[in-house]
Amino acid sequence: MPGCRVPAEELIAFPTPFTFKAIGHHTRSFARAVHAAVSGVLDDRPVELRTRLSRNGTYLSATCTARIASADELRAVYAALYEVEDVITVL
Separation in Å, CA 84 to CA 5, 16, 39:
25, 24, 13
CA distance 18 to 69: 10
**pLDDT tens digit sequence for 45-83:** 999 999 999 999 999 999 999 999 999 999 999 999 999
Beta bridge partners of 62: 22, 51
Provide the whole-model pTM.
Answer: 0.89
pLDDT digits (tens, 9 = 90+) for 2-51: 566 767 778 899 999 999 999 999 999 999 999 999 999 998 899 999 99
CB 1 within 8 A of CB 68: no
Domains along the chain?
8-90 (3.30.70.260)
The 3-state DSSP class for residue 44 equals coil
